[in-house]
Structure 1
Amino acid sequence: MKRIIIAAALLATLASCKNEKQETDTENNVDTTAVSTTETAAVSFDKKVYEKKSALNTKDPHTSVTIDVPEATGTGADSINNKIFRTVREIVHFGENPSDAKSYEEVMASFIGAYEELAKKYPDEDVPWDAKVTGEVVYKTDSIVNVKLTHYTFTGGAHGYGADTSLLFDAKTGRSITQNDLFKDKKGFTALAEKKFRAKYKIAGANINSTGLFFLNDRFSLPNNIFFTDKGILLQYNSDEVAAHAEGTKDVLITYAEAKPFLK
């Protein structure tokens, strides 16, 4: 009988503690419901700006670097940010060997350092350098994110070099999207693109380079940069890619209706 009384007392104490915890949780708005999975926020972007000038210049123009890029947070952010960084590093880097910079600050220091080394070695030929990279999210859906990097570098010579670079990402994972990921029939899409390119630039006959272009092996090929826009898929050839620098960029737009049969 004594054991039964003790057991009943223990049960009553446990029930009292449980009720007190539930009441405390309710007062503090704590959700006591078990959750097996957590919802991950979709990827979003903030603007980040980095700038550095050389200390050797005493007056304008200064040798300088400006990097203005979107920084991702949320789903797949690390993958997106790493790809943007590696691309910027390749754009800004000067020299034969790839840069091993681990941050934007190191990228800028490498560029400024290369300039200052040459300026000290050849002071009579000192011409300020310049590097600018501006990035923006130009297209974003639930499945794809398109980041555009507009960049210009000048390290002496007759003129600098400006171009656009397109970076495509899976919006759900942050993984980089390649052309092979985009197309289920890349050969068919390329044929369509060539037809529209020839029509836009009035190229007749079998020779794609007959008007002064320089496609490799005289065969049309897709550009490195494919942009997604509200109107369709923009294929963009930067200056010097398939035509002389003076001709600037060349591009062709494929509407989504036209591209649909070839896309995955």
Structure 2
Amino acid sequence: MKIILSICFLFAFVSCTSDSVTALEIREFEGAVCADCPKVRISIPEARENTILGKSVNTGIREEIIELLDFAQNKNAVDIPGAIDAFTEGFRNLQEEFPEELTGWEASVAGTRSYEDPFLLTIELETYIFTGGAHGYGATRYLNFDKKTGAELSGSELLKDPEAFSAFAERAFREKYDIPAGAPINSTGFMFEDNQFTLPENIGLSADAIVLHYNPYEVASYADGSLILEIPLEKGLAFLERSTK
């Protein structure tokens, strides 16, 4: 397995001389390259400073990757190299059991800083995993961090009033996907539970929008792919729980 540390630092949205920018660097991990090895490639931002925020960012990203790769908890991995080893071991165990039927496994993670201001940092993780079957599964995960406390924030914790924002987002969702205002939310083929609109598991920020990202299967079929609703920041900022103290 290769671990590659890049000298390229990620500074976005503000000047690299500003104290408001969290110092991140790209770190890359690769699985072993051999005929009977799964393909694993990970490229993620890593906080350089040993602060509460830095530790929280690195822990949050690491835990997401461990959950993706050591999904069967074969080795109870505690770090990314261990998670890659667990993924490889899972593939080889299945290979021994079904040597003629098994197709190659693959996993990838690409992380970027999607938003940062003096109070909030958002990391976007694009993941893909294939462990056999008709197709793999790609998903997006947003990790939001309060820069003052280091706490990782859920989507609802980003919002002053999740219920009010949900009503606002439903109107935007209906407009984007041509669902009449008086019709059930699933009337055009969506699969919201109990036929009630809900916010996605993944809410994050980009440079100019609050992003609501429904991953495949969350509210629609796999064939429909991800559903992405972007609320322009000028309209969405009033809904955000932003500390200025």
TM-score grouping bracket, smaller chain normalisation: 0.7 to 0.9
The reply on whether 1:43 has 2:22 as its aligned counterpart is: yes
Deviation at 1:216, TM superposition (A): 1.0
Contact 1:56/1:116 (8 A) holds in 2? no
The corresponding residue for 2:39 is: 64
- SS state of the match for residue 124, structure 1? coil
The corresponding residue for 1:5 is: none
Gaps of 5+ in 1: 1-39
- SS state of the match for residue 202, structure 1? coil
Aligned residues: 220
Of residues 227, 231, 237 in structure 2, which corresponds to 1:254?
A: 231
The corresponding residue for 2:67 is: 90
Contact 1:50/1:68 (8 A) holds in 2? yes
Deviation at 1:190, TM superposition (A): 0.3
The corresponding residue for 1:198 is: 174
Of residues 156, 171, 196 in structure 2, which corresponds to 1:219?
A: 196
Q: Distance in 2 between matches of 1:250 and 1:43?
A: 30
Deviation at 1:41, TM superposition (A): 9.2
Deviation at 1:42, TM superposition (A): 6.1
The reply on whether 1:228 has 2:192 as its aligned counterpart is: no
- Measured on the aligned residues, the alpha-carbon RMSD in Å equals 1.9
- SS state of the match for residue 107, structure 2? strand
Of residues 154, 168, 188 in structure 2, which corresponds to 1:178?
A: 154
Determine which structure has the larger helix proportion and give its number: 1
Q: 1:99 to 1:188 in 2, by over 3 A?
A: farther
- SS state of the match for residue 100, structure 1? coil
Contact 2:20/2:118 (8 A) holds in 1? no
Q: Alpha-carbon deviations, 1:176-229, whole Å to 9, x = none?
A: 012332212111100000000001100123310111111111110111111212
The reply on whether 1:139 has 2:118 as its aligned counterpart is: no
Q: Alpha-carbon deviations, 1:145-167, whole Å to 9, x = none?
A: 11011011000000000011100
Deviation at 1:99, TM superposition (A): 5.7
Of residues 169, 187, 192 in structure 1, which corresponds to 2:145?
A: 169
Contact 1:49/1:69 (8 A) holds in 2? yes
Contact 1:90/1:99 (8 A) holds in 2? no
Q: Larger deviation: 107-116 or 237-246?
A: 237-246
- SS state of the match for residue 123, structure 1? coil
The corresponding residue for 2:165 is: 189
Q: Percent identity?
A: 35
Deviation at 1:43, TM superposition (A): 2.9
The reply on whether 1:238 has 2:215 as its aligned counterpart is: yes
The corresponding residue for 2:99 is: 123
Question: Larger C-alpha radius of gyration, 1 or 2?
Answer: 1
The reply on whether 1:109 has 2:81 as its aligned counterpart is: no
Equivalent residues in 2 for 1:4-15 (5 A)?
Answer: none
Letter in 2 for 1:260: L
Deviation at 1:263, TM superposition (A): 2.2
TM-score of the pair, normalised by structure 2: 0.84
